[in-house]
Amino acid sequence: MDDGLKQRLIGAIIIVAAAIIFIPMIFNDADHPAGDILVDIPARPEPPPPQLIKPTQPSLNVEEVAGVNVKQEVTEQEPGNLPVSWVLQLASFQEPKNAEALRDRLRKAGYKSYVAYRPDQTDTMARVLVGPELDRKEVERLAVALKKEFKLEGFIVRYLP
């Protein structure tokens, strides 16, 4: 390439770059600065002081009230502050209608039962569960009763809502 042509191209590029930089500065309107906009925000109002409400009934003295010793059950707590619950899994079926039929038989007999569907690798399994109960011993008693009544031996699992 000829040296003169190179110099002309470089000169043209410099002039175009300078025009791109300086032309917006010339036509920029000074009345509208492109800076931050200041807004005057009033201070937050003070909340009213809390009012004390007097009770309408006289308070009871603890010594005067005859109390009954109540045994308080302490249940395990999950991390989400939900108590640990237990269910009895009686059976698993590939056909949901078979699981629903067993669930209906259990409900007619007075047991809290439901069908839970868990997706498996190949297909969906329908599990028949009885419960939930907070006390694991109660679920163990249910297992014995259901084994006698329905001749089904289940196993205890944690209830996951």
CATH number at residue 98: 3.30.70.1070
* Residue 120 resides in a domain: yes
Q: What radius of gyration, in Å, describes the C-alpha atoms of the chain? A: 39
Beta-bridge mates of residue 127? 92, 116
Total domains in the chain come to 1
Quote the CA–CA distance of 103 and 142 in Å, as a whole number. 15
What is the chain's pLDDT, residue by residue, as a tens digit (161 residues)?
789 999 999 999 999 999 999 888 887 766 655 566 777 888 888 888 888 887 777 666 655 555 555 555 555 555 566 778 888 888 888 888 888 888 898 888 888 888 887 665 556 788 888 878 888 888 888 888 888 888 888 878 887 76
Owning domain of residue 154: 86-158
Q: Kindly report the CA angle at 103 between 129 and 141, in degrees rounded to 5?
A: 50
Helices and strands counted in the chain (H then E):
3, 4
103 found inside a domain: yes
Inside any domain, residue 29 = no
Amino acid at 75: T
Report if residue 68 sits inside a domain.
no
Q: CA 8 to CA 11: how far, in whole Å?
A: 5
Is 73 contained in some domain? no
pLDDT at position 59 is: 66
Position 121 in a domain: yes
